[in-house]
């Protein structure tokens, strides 16, 4: 495949992902203040080399800290149901959205206009043309106790997301920066915990007790995107694990047996980053199971996921977003390809 086509595919992927950020955050447009988190974070020490992956290749970047850190606790802020991390990118201070549905580091062109740009394209997404996606190189990015240098990032206009929230968003990142850690996401305590792991996926040093999940499964992955198996109506489906989605999604092309298990409450025409509109249905999942655990009543959007499936190169039956993530504490290990969750007590329906 020629380089230009590679760029277009990557750009379309970014465009479609931004569309779903707009669609899935639509019910929660008002920014929700989050309790101030003090900066005196206690780190037990250390950090591995994270990975930044493009659509067709994976590139490793090593944090340039004065001393190695074996673990770090990153406080999370919220805007609605979005998870944010305070960061400094080339001297610009603001927030990065933790979005595991994003394959690469994506930055807001509003704040990085002076950077040298390359690989420009103007893709069209689900709702029409969104604008230009380009690439830049960041000299330094810092969040929590982590520092990365000379990292390539995709650049596009995220102003529509930023304006809907009333909060400064420098960009978004997913597993690309932290996949060489054991990752523990605890939304109840608003923390992202990272533990440096070796080539076999085990923690480098002993620290807090080992994570003991109530349920675990081996996950599929395509570059930095994680896919889980779950069941609706007794049928096994493939879901994208997406912390940037405030609501779960079920593909509108699913079978009637699956769609009939959902309770539809309303429909709405939503506008993406372009001028076109797309209609989605809002409702609730009544028959979702993960292993032997049945989780009922999660908010859900029914929408066409065919374009997103094409962009990811993997058939997606649905998306598991914040409604799923808040069900418990999640642990992810990319080396072992292991997903685990400790369910919140009292959540069993």
DSSP per-residue letters across 184-230: EEETTTTEEEEEEB-TTS-BSS--SPPP--SEEEE-EEETTEEEEEE
Question: Are 99 and 60 in the same domain?
Answer: yes
Which tens digits make up the pLDDT trace of 49-73? 222 223 323 443 545 554 467 889 9
- The C-alpha atoms of residue 76 and residue 65 are separated, in whole angstroms, by 21
Question: Are 257 and 144 in the same domain?
Answer: no
- The residue segments making up the domain with residue 338 are 215-343
Q: What is the mean pLDDT of the chain?
A: 78
Confidence of residue 128 (pLDDT cuts 50, 70, 90): very low
Question: Are 119 and 228 in the same domain?
Answer: no
Question: Rounded mean pLDDT of 207-212?
Answer: 81
Question: Are 188 and 307 in the same domain?
Answer: no
Structure tokens at 125: 């997404």
Query: Where do we find the tokens 């240098």?
Result: 149
CATH number at residue 253: 2.40.70.10
Q: Give the ranges where 188-303 is alpha helix by DSSP (H).
A: 256-259
pTM (predicted TM-score): 0.81
Residue 283 lies in a domain: yes
Q: Is 96 helix (H, G, I), strand (E, B) or coil?
A: strand
Question: Are 139 and 245 in the same domain?
Answer: no
Q: Are 309 and 183 in contact (CB under 8 A)?
A: no
Q: What is the pLDDT of residue 53?
A: 27
Which tens digits make up the pLDDT trace of 289-326? 999 999 999 999 999 998 888 888 889 999 999 999 99
Higher pLDDT, 118 or 326: 326
Query: How many domains does one find in the chain?
Result: 2
* Domain boundary pick from 162, 196, 230: 196
Distances (CA, A) of 172 to 62, 102, 104, 312, 338: 19, 7, 8, 17, 24
- The C-alpha atoms of residue 269 and residue 280 are separated, in whole angstroms, by 6
Question: Are 116 and 240 in the same domain?
Answer: no
pLDDT score of 43 more than 50: no
* Distance linking the first and last C-alpha atoms of the chain: 49
Distances (CA, A) of 76 to 19, 63, 145, 269: 23, 20, 14, 31
Query: Where do we find the tokens 């329906």?
Result: 349
Question: Rounded mean pLDDT of 21-43?
Answer: 37
Question: Are 300 and 337 in the same domain?
Answer: yes
Q: What is the pLDDT of residue 9?
A: 44
Instruction: Quote the percentage of the chain above a pLDDT of 70.
Output: 72
pLDDT score of 39 more than 70: no
Among residues 177, 90, 178, which one has the least CA distance to residue 140? Answer: 90
Residue 207 lies in a domain: no
Question: Are 69 and 98 in the same domain?
Answer: yes
User: Residue 35's CB: how many other CB atoms inside 10 A?
Assistant: 8
């Amino acid at each position: 495949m020629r380089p230009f086509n590679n760029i277009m595919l990557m750009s379309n992927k970014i465009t479609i992902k931004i569309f779903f950020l707009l669609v899935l955050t639509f019910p929660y447009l008002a920014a929700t203040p989050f309790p101030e988190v003090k900066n005196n974070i206690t780190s037990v020490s250390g950090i591995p080399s994270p990975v930044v992956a493009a659509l067709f290749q994976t590139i490793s970047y090593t944090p340039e800290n004065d001393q190695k850190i074996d673990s770090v606790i990153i406080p999370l802020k919220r805007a609605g149901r979005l998870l944010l991390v305070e960061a400094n990118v080339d001297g610009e201070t603001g927030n990065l959205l933790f979005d595991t549905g994003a394959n690469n580091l994506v930055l807001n062109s509003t704040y990085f206009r002076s950077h040298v740009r390359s690989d420009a394209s103007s893709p069209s997404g689900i709702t029409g043309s969104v604008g230009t996606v380009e690439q830049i190189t960041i000299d330094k990015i810092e969040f929590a106790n982590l520092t990365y240098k000379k990292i390539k990032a995709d650049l596009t206009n995220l102003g529509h997301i930023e304006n809907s929230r009333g909060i400064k968003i420098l960009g978004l990142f997913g597993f690309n920066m932290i996949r060489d850690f054991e990752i523990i996401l605890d939304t109840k305590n608003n923390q992202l915990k990272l533990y440096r792991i070796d080539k076999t996926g085990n923690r480098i040093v002993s620290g807090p007790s080992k994570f003991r999940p109530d349920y675990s499964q081996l996950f599929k992955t395509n570059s930095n995107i994680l896919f889980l198996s779950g069941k609706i109506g007794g049928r096994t489906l493939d879901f994208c694990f997406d912390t940037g989605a405030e609501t779960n999604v079920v593909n509108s092309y699913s079978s009637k047996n699956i769609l009939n298990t959902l309770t539809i409450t309303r429909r709405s025409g939503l506008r993406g980053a372009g001028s076109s509109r797309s209609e989605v249905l809002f409702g609730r999942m009544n028959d979702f199971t993960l292993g032997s655990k049945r989780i009922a009543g999660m908010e859900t959007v029914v929408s066409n996921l065919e374009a997103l499936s094409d962009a990811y190169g993997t058939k997606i039956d649905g998306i598991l977003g914040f409604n799923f993530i808040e069900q418990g504490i999640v642990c992810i290990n990319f080396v072992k390809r292991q997903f685990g969750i400790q369910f919140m007590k009292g959540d069993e329906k």
